[in-house]
Amino acid sequence: MKFISLSLLLLGLIISAHANLKASFTSAGKSTTKQVAVPALFVGEGESPAAGLPVGPFSAIYTGKLTIPKRFRISFSVESEGKVQLKINEEEVVFMEGKSDRIRLNPGEIPIEITFTSPDNGAGYFRLYWEERREFPREPLPASSFTSLSETPIDAAHLFADHNCIQCHKADFGSSAMPELKYAGPNLTGIGSRANQAWLTRWIAQPDKLKPTTTMPAMVDHTRPEGAQAAADIGAYLASLITQEEATSAPDLSLAQKGGEHFHKLGCIACHSKPDADEPDFENGRIPLNNVAAKFKGGSLASFLKNPQKHHEAIKMPNFRFSDEEASSLAAYLTKTSTGEHTPDPSEFPPGDAVRGKGLVTSLNCSSCHEGLEPSEKSAPNLANLKDWTKACLGPDHQSGKSPRLILTDEEKKAITPAVLPALHNDTVEAYTSRQIEALNCTSCHAYNGQGSLLTKTHGETKSLLDHIKEADERLIQSRPPLTHMGAMLHTGYLEKILLGIANPRPRPWLEMRMPAFPLHAKHMSHGLGQHHGLPASEPSREKPAADQVKVGEQLVGMTGYACVTCHAINEKPALAAFEVQGINFGITHERLRPGYYHQWMFNPARLVPDTKMPRYTNPDDGTGLRPDILDGDSHKQFEAIRRYIQSVKSAAK
């Protein structure tokens, strides 16, 4: 295998979605700046306006540039609780009852500035809209309408939390601190029953060589004889930690071909490089799989695939809710394909001694991050007692002494200073969600704010795994909705069910590719995704829809209307003739969709999802409905009637 210098390549491991606006917040004399995708904000009562700021009245200023493709005459409007001032081209926009006159915007980049002043209680929101009478109806300003900022600063507070610094350097940040500060490493109880000793030794010696994106520090210097011996000793001790559970059988390699099919159809290549890849995918930060066969014992790989969180609650691998067949065949494919492809030893390791290893684990305070180990009597200095943050683990690698070697670039190390501490306080679900979108690699599968998904680019790498199937059915289109609109699209409770993996029935049950579960993050992210759009938590209306609207809506979805039933099932009644892909069952639509997004979608679906197969049912010239004989051709009334009909059929959905 060939490996390139990690210090140069780790700079570009995670591809973040482009931010478009700078947002500066001030509260109680303290300020912070961050980058956001759209001009929208929601702060609930008792919540901080931005991570690190105290609760209370605040102001926020958003600055950026609108990218205008051709001459427009735009009307802006705003919904808010608090005061909003808008400047376009440095000229203040006057709102009368929340809406401006039409403003001529010429092609090019146009400066925009939004100033928001909260009510006195510090709870408020704003959402900025625009409309162009000939081009598009009233809609929130999309991320695509702004010029992307060229630089994304290092999020030092996120690095501090993600690398578990607080596990060693104790401090109390209170209940409102970043949730990540509480996330620990894997529970090592019984690790010797799950992982092979040789792999454990390699991992201790140089974890970033096996997994370049890891946050596990290198605890020994394997380039020195004493360091190589320490790695071997620790590996021997960890291998001795076995459980009394009955050993499970190794994967049945005859299932490998079927496992390869699942690997391709599930889109695993979005987050992982191929198990026989010559080297890690440094450019995209995909997690290597070439060490799978060398790592897992017996049937532990299939067990891991079934429940990745069992021994590590904060693991970034989601839960796909694999069936026994899927887990077994995937384990077979990964094991067979990665056999003999493991990363070579970074050093020559002597035989390990478990007794010495146990002493080393205790002296290195490994129990601060890992359950299942005896606690150490020694500990790192408390955070308040650290005088010089430029030495030890944050210093140059060759000067770290007995401190662990953190998997950070020099620039990242320099960014972690005492100045990060305020940002660890008063966290927000909006900020948490932004961090987790990056940390959990959500953009590997989902397009986001103008950035295409990594899977779209890489899925062809594993197409050959289906070569033995004469007519492989690959229905990728519409299988992965853009993450861009998710918080504005789905009701909070339904979004939480999706992230928990308990939405039943699945929205697209005909697809093998499916949304996995992120149970640890579901509650915060379901709220934070909505707050990205300035929206509070929402739930579907329980009011009974008007009978006259339901009747008209039923006509419109039928074959004498817009023929929605051609592609969409209604509870147990199947779609009449779904073509390339099915539509989502109308029986669960009311539980899923926020009304505002529904109407925006119905007016022109392709404006939200350019490659959608959903047709447009409005006239491009004037926005009227394609059935002028129903409700006077008023498209909004027609679509509202359809929404009310869909609401009326919801009760049969489980």
Instruction: Name every residue whose Cβ is closer than 8 Å to that of residue 114 and which is 6 or more positions away in sequence.
Output: 39, 61, 62, 84, 85, 86, 87, 126, 128
pLDDT in the model for residue 451: 87
Q: What is the 3-class SS of 331-379, one letter each residue?
A: HHHHHHHHCCCCCCCCCCCCCCCHHHHHHHHHHCCHHHCCCCCCCCCCC
CA dist., res. 350 & res. 279, Å (int): 26
Which residues is 81 bridged to in the sheet?
125
Instruction: Name every residue whose Cβ is closer than 8 Å to that of residue 70 and which is 6 or more positions away in sequence.
Output: 107
Q: For the chain, report the end-to-end CA distance as a whole number of angstroms.
A: 51
What six digits make up the tokens of 103? 């403003």
Q: What is the dihedral of CA 224, 226, 228, 233, to 10 degrees?
A: -170
List, for residues 145-200, the tens digit of each pLDDT value. Answer: 999 887 788 999 999 999 999 998 888 888 889 999 999 999 999 999 999 999 99
pLDDT in the model for residue 6: 35
CA dist., res. 499 & res. 513, Å (int): 15
pLDDT in the model for residue 11: 30
CA dist., res. 552 & res. 561, Å (int): 9
pLDDT in the model for residue 9: 31
Classify 87 as helix, strand or coil: strand
pLDDT in the model for residue 484: 94
pLDDT in the model for residue 246: 72
Greatest C-alpha distance within the chain: 85
Q: What is the pTM of this model?
A: 0.93
Classify 75 as helix, strand or coil: strand
pLDDT in the model for residue 611: 84
CA dist., res. 462 & res. 337, Å (int): 13
Q: Are 50 and 157 in contact (CB under 8 A)?
A: no
Instruction: Name every residue whose Cβ is closer than 8 Å to that of residue 29 and which is 6 or more positions away in sequence.
Output: none
pLDDT in the model for residue 580: 64
pLDDT in the model for residue 653: 42
Among candidates 604, 643, 607, which has minimal Cα distance to 622?
A: 604
What six digits make up the tokens of 502? 């308990």
pLDDT in the model for residue 403: 83
pLDDT < 50: residue spans in the chain: 1-17, 477, 652-654
144 burial type by CB count under 10 A (0-12 exposed, 13-18 middle, 19+ buried): middle
pLDDT in the model for residue 385: 86
Domains 191-362 and 547-652 share a fold: yes
Classify 205 as helix, strand or coil: helix
What six digits make up the tokens of 93? 């926009």
What is the CATH architecture of 21-145? Alpha-Beta Complex (3.90)
Instruction: Name every residue whose Cβ is closer than 8 Å to that of residue 147 and which is 6 or more positions away in sequence.
Output: 20, 64, 65, 66, 67, 109
The domain limits of the chain are 21-145, 156-184+371-424, 191-362, 429-531, 547-652
Instruction: From the options 1.10.760.10, 3.30.70.1350, 1.20.120.790, 3.90.79.10, give the CATH code of 547-652.
Output: 1.10.760.10
Burial letters for 269-303: b for 16+ Cβ neighbours within 10 Å, e otherwise? bbbbbbbebeebbbebbbbbbbbbbbbbbebbbbb
What is 191-362's CATH topology?
Cytochrome Bc1 Complex; Chain D, domain 2 (1.10.760)
Q: Which residue's structure tokens are 């987790």?
A: 436
Among candidates 139, 146, 144, which has minimal Cα distance to 62?
A: 146
Among candidates 379, 375, 348, which has minimal Cα distance to 362?
A: 375
392 burial type by CB count under 10 A (0-12 exposed, 13-18 middle, 19+ buried): middle
Helix, strand and coil percent figures for the chain, each rounded to 5 = 35, 15, 50
Among candidates 262, 254, 330, 261, which has minimal Cα distance to 296?
A: 330
Among candidates 378, 32, 46, 314, which has minimal Cα distance to 181?
A: 314
